[in-house]
Chains A and B, each alone.
Chain A
Amino acid sequence: MSELVAAAVRTESVSKRFRGGVEALRDVSLDVEPGEFMVLVGPSGCGKSTLLRLVAGLEEVSGGRIYIGDEDVTNRLPQQRDIAMVFQSYALYPRMSVRRNLAFGLRMRRIPKPQREQRVTEVAEILGLEHLLDRRPAALSGGQRQRVAMGRAIVREPRVFLMDEPLSNLDAKLRVALRAELSLLHQRLGVTTIYVTHDQVEAMTLGQRVAVLRDGLLQQCDSPQDVFRHPNNLFVAAFIGSPAMNFVEATVERGVVRFPGAEIPTSARQDGKVILGIRPTGFSPTLDRGWPTLEVTPEVVEELGDERHVIFELTAPRVDTEATRAAVEARSADDATLLPEDRARFTARVPTEVPVTIGEPLTLAIDPSRLYFFDPESGAALPA
């Protein structure tokens, strides 16, 4: 495999308005470093796929510029941009064998046949497709089709890979396996990659950086660690992390943040109402660290083998802002609520050594260094 030249991708305040007036993207500026694995994540309709299609040239921008490498490609056709794309449905050419599917892009670019064959063989070897080369896509399994789709992108040695939810049609096990392979492949080829997903776990595990979008606006673009540890706003906090962050309305008064059931001293900050966020991992059953505590009554206990998720209710009302709602809706169906929720319901992660019984009171300590504060009006993160 020859060395590929990685290129940077830059979007400069890109906007997209569809015919009919839907604003899919507003002023999105994104800088993807050469060779970087950038993940675009967000709920459906947030504009992440549109942004990818704009970079691919499959849609026209309504405003802004797009650069690949040093070139302004805003007005170039997809075939002139030297990109390759992997689609959610794979989009393999049904009447062509795997070999011809792989070679199609080279054929369209009038690469001579001996070179074409050599490239196809190389790529088939990398992806373990040698024995499938003469089959039609119909005779392949889902994972194999996915590989062929990937191979079709690699074979052309493009400057940028664009991937639109390439794993979402696979079953859960295969998805996890291919996720790891994808990471390896990226390390090996070192090609700039922009990857779209609605799955925040996929985003966190794959991305060197994660760009969170919502309603056509870029919310935050940071490393997975930073997005998780320092969310910019309520939406990012609610969207990233599994189980999701817990929220409660709280008041800050003279260095103490209060919500029903707890009082937590906090470094001096402005008095007033805030939305307080605590990650499920911010709780601990160990009470000897001098941390503030919370008396809870477990309602549901989810056994996960290595750990437990304890779900309990607070006497405080549920935080119901637009941002948290959007984040909850965007998460997978198992996070959807069956019961009417008028009170805040928290999830805490507890090690299995601690016995927990439903209905039996339990005292949990709260790590005061892992509190998140948000402005109840704007949803913006407040300095902790």
Chain B
Amino acid sequence: MSTVSTVPAAAPALATDGRIRSRWAPWITASRYAALVGLVVVFLVPLYVLVITAFKDPTQVSPKQMWALPDSVSLETFRTVWPTMKDGFRNSIVMAVPAAVIASFLGAANGFVLSKWRFPGADVVFPLILFGMFIPYQAILIPLNQLMRDLDMHDLTGLTLVHVVYGLPITTLIFRSYFGGLSDELIDAAQVDGAGMLRTFFFVALPVALPAFAVAIIWEFTSAWNDFIFGLVLTSRQDWPVTIALNNIAGSQVVPFHQAVAAALLASVPTLVVYVLMGRFFMRGLMAGALKG
């Protein structure tokens, strides 16, 4: 059209992105945001109380001033609870980090073989592995406890092993789906180039699996870190993970509640850190360039 300059003034307003919008659009947008902000506030209130209480000076903490911001930031409460949390914290890290890494690596190997290096019976093996995800902890707790005692592994190593095994179904699922999206021709190419199963796995499949590793490690670390019942049953006092230490503080009636919230905050830091660190690798596009356009 050659009459661009004569567009009537009453035409629907064009937003900056050039899309045509209804004239109610600003109101709809405003009310949508109002509703979202309202919901965010509702969900964040407990967190708000948790954080401000933990950072208050212990003398300022009282139910009357629960909502008030602290006058100054104080780490006094953290100092008080740290000695009781310290051992649990260390135990949890010693257990959850290897558990997440080993379970992810084994899951990657499983997933690769189940999706790209198929063997007869793969369609039976995979559902069997997956079934492990649906076995409730309670169902196996007593025999497992007995087994770990008989194996003389009633300690952190044993607990790590249990988390690795319990993590395998989900990590296998993650990697099987991920490798399933990998081009078969890539695997064929590696084979023609002279790589066998192991070298195809290590040189071709693993380097592109970083996003899957991020998902699997975040998942496995979080579930091992947050586990309570295995930690309680399968280890003795000196090997108790942080969740039990937290329970001993937060669950007892005699501990002031600002100490309980500070302990809870401490116990949740590592999972957040892992998420922030690994989340970067969630990025897509690691496969870019392998295939056409």
Whether the Cβ atoms of A91 and B189 lie closer than 8 Å is yes
Query: Residues of B contacting A92 with CB < 8 Å?
Result: 189, 289-290
Whether the Cβ atoms of A108 and B195 lie closer than 8 Å is yes
Closest to A84 in B: B192
Once the chains are docked, how many angstroms separate the CA of A145 from the CA of B293?
A: 9
A88 located at the interface, meaning its Cβ lies under 8 Å from any Cβ of chain B in the complex = yes
Whether the Cβ atoms of B185 and A79 lie closer than 8 Å is no
B203 located at the interface, meaning its Cβ lies under 8 Å from any Cβ of chain A in the complex = yes
Residues facing A in B168-212 (CB within 8 A) are 183, 185-186, 188-196, 199, 203-204, 207-208
Residues facing B in A118-176 (CB within 8 A) are 136-140, 142, 145, 152, 156, 169
Once the chains are docked, how many angstroms separate the CA of A94 from the CA of B209?
A: 11
Chain A interface size range:
20 to 34
A289 located at the interface, meaning its Cβ lies under 8 Å from any Cβ of chain B in the complex = no
Query: Residues of B contacting A85 with CB < 8 Å?
Result: 188-189, 192
B7 located at the interface, meaning its Cβ lies under 8 Å from any Cβ of chain A in the complex = no
Question: What is the minimal beta-carbon distance from B203 to any residue of chain A, in angstroms?
Answer: 7
Whether the Cβ atoms of B286 and A58 lie closer than 8 Å is no
Interface residues of B (CB under 8 A from A): 183, 185-186, 188-196, 199, 203-204, 207-208, 285-293
Residues facing B in A14-39 (CB within 8 A) are none
Query: Residues of B contacting A87 with CB < 8 Å?
Result: 185, 188-189
In the complex, which of the residues B192, B203, B207 contacts A79, with contact meaning CB atoms closer than 8 Å?
Answer: B192
Query: Residues of B contacting A138 with CB < 8 Å?
Result: 285, 288-289
Whether the Cβ atoms of B287 and A105 lie closer than 8 Å is no
In the complex, which of the residues B183, B193, B288 contacts A105, with contact meaning CB atoms closer than 8 Å?
Answer: B193
Q: A95-B286, A142-B293, A169-B292 are in contact. Are A79 and B188 (CB under 8 A)?
A: no
Total of A-B residue pairs, C-beta within 8 Å: 92
Residues facing B in A69-116 (CB within 8 A) are 77-79, 83-85, 87-96, 104-105, 108-109
Once the chains are docked, how many angstroms separate the CA of A56 from the CA of B292?
A: 22
Q: A88-B185, A104-B203 are in contact. Are A140 and B289 (CB under 8 A)?
A: yes
Query: Residues of A contacting B194 with CB < 8 Å?
Result: 79, 105, 108-109
Whether the Cβ atoms of A89 and B289 lie closer than 8 Å is no
In the complex, which of the residues A53, A94, A140 contacts B286, with contact meaning CB atoms closer than 8 Å?
Answer: A94
Query: Residues of B contacting A145 with CB < 8 Å?
Result: 289, 292
In the complex, which of the residues A84, A94, A104, A156 contacts B288, with contact meaning CB atoms closer than 8 Å?
Answer: A94
Once the chains are docked, how many angstroms separate the CA of A140 from the CA of B183?
A: 18
Once the chains are docked, how many angstroms separate the CA of A101 from the CA of B292?
A: 16
Whether the Cβ atoms of A90 and B192 lie closer than 8 Å is no
Query: Residues of A contacting B208 with CB < 8 Å?
Result: 94-95
Once the chains are docked, how many angstroms separate the CA of A89 from the CA of B290?
A: 8
12 A-B pairs with CB atoms under 8 Å apart are: A56-B188, A78-B191, A79-B193, A79-B196, A91-B183, A91-B188, A93-B190, A94-B288, A94-B290, A96-B207, A138-B288, A142-B293
Query: Residues of B contacting A108 with CB < 8 Å?
Result: 193-195, 199
Known pairs A53-B188, A89-B292, A145-B292; list 20 more (Cβ under 8 Å): A56-B188, A78-B188, A79-B192, A83-B192, A87-B188, A87-B189, A88-B185, A89-B183, A89-B290, A92-B189, A93-B189, A93-B190, A93-B204, A94-B289, A95-B207, A105-B194, A108-B195, A137-B289, A138-B289, A139-B289
Query: Residues of B contacting A109 with CB < 8 Å?
Result: 194
Question: What is the minimal beta-carbon distance from B29 to any residue of chain A, in angstroms?
Answer: 37
Once the chains are docked, how many angstroms separate the CA of A156 from the CA of B196?
A: 17
Query: Residues of A contacting B293 with CB < 8 Å?
Result: 142, 169
